[in-house]
Amino acid sequence: MVGFVCHRDHRAEPAPRVALRGLVVDTVGVAVAGLTTPAAVLVRDWVEDQSPSGALAPDGTAAVWGTAGRLGPADAALVNGTAAHALDWDDAAPSMAMHPAAVLLPTLFALAARRPVTGAGLVAAYSVGSAVFRAVSEVLPHAVHYGRGWHNTSTTGRLAATAAACRLLGLDTGATAHALGIAASQAAGSLANFGTMTKPMHAGLASRDAVMAVGLATRGFTAHPAQLEARGGFLDLFGDHDPERTALLGERLEHWMTGWTDDYALKAYPSCFATQRAIDAGISLREELGADPGRIARVEVTLEHGGTRPLRDTGPGNGLEAKFSLEYTLAVALLTGDVRLADFTDEALRRPGVAELMARIELAERPPAAEPGHTVVRLHTDDGRVLVRDVHHSRGDSHRPLSRAELAAKFHQCVGHGPAARSWFEALHAVPDADDPRDLQALLAGPPARD
């Protein structure tokens, strides 16, 4: 893997550059909105408390996105990564449970404060991180790792973000091997914390630790240079280590270097990715059925094998937990024809008709050998009809992408409207196209205030 990170010749394929334009805009936008959530507010407050002045240091090097605040790169990565994941509206990978951009971009943008970067450099580093994220997850394999309760965004995400950082900074093979070894010993994050403030902090911690790992490695700090496959290493600890499967790692890294552009999604709805296809189905069914929920006798939802793993198995007790309730998000889609940020407040849970409809929704999974990657919703009406939707690609999936206008609409929901916000959207969208090295921190700070 080290050779791939350091030496893989990155050709300027157009697909990764196009994909990264949307991911930059989307991730910065949801992070700016996420900064006001309790999770991000408390993390930022803690970081401020650690500084000598007890506040954001004006001479810090990396932007807290959308603000005038600056922090050291590791602290900025922690705050921005947590904020990017706080609303659960950030990107996802349909093939495996992970949120790559919420880990990779806070890392890369924080390190760019110390070294101006080109658009091509960012594209190459992001693609390396995306490949490591997916290829290592396959080798674990992901089903075993996630099935044990590990949050892949946080665990494998540390390796991916560290690999991306090593590529961005041009580290040699020795420093890269040690950086990956350091990151492997920092890996953690449990699914049990889904629906709490700790879940989004997983992304921030993964980003922070990647910055720390490359910083230590460049100073000569050592780790096991082959930690991935070593006895007691990452694959032993976090997966089901199979030497034959591990031998395919190089091939899978090459595949995912560009293949990731067919395996990402910008979420249309601010909830867990496992709910997205069902929401699309619910909105479509409401259009056919009409707005009378009393006509719904029951709803059967069938997900891929393991599809319920990130979801709550009890009813949500607050708005944050509701993001991980398919019953709640589908009920809202059927009742209102959309799912928005305002649907994830404690008050929204108590709206008339929501609990009653949730009680009529049943979840099931297909057998392990069945076709993965789609959700089937069967709605039974009170007059005996059965309406069916089979959704393979949720709105915002790379196979069903958001239009530029839809992406802009989401961005403006997050950061506000007006000329300054529109100009910021265009400037962020163009970041992967920059030919000359740039210090991105002034751009990431955004408009001085909501306009």
Reported as a single tens digit per residue, the pLDDT across 1-10 is 999 999 877 6
Query: What does the mean pLDDT of the chain come to?
Result: 94
Under 8 Å CB-to-CB from 210, ≥6 apart: which residues? 77, 103, 107, 158, 161, 162, 164, 165, 183
> Would you state the pLDDT for residue 290?
80
pTM for the complete prediction? Answer: 0.94
CA distance 33 to 37: 8
Q: How far is CA 67 from CA 51, 70, 112, 446, in A?
A: 18, 8, 17, 7
Read off the pLDDT of each residue in 111-134 and give the average, rounded to a whole number: 95
Residue 370 banded pLDDT, cuts 50, 70, 90:
confident
- Give the confidence band of 58 by pLDDT, cuts at 50, 70, 90: low
Q: Give yes or no for residue 28 having a pLDDT over 90.
A: yes
Q: Has residue 450 got a pLDDT over 60?
A: no
Eight-class DSSP state of 207: H
58-72, 208-222, 307-321: least confident range: 58-72
pLDDT, greater one: 8 or 249: 249
Which has the closest alpha carbon to 297: 200, 365, 382, 192? 382
With bands split at pLDDT 50, 70 and 90, how would you rate the model's confidence at 451?
very low
Higher pLDDT, residue 134 or 68: 134
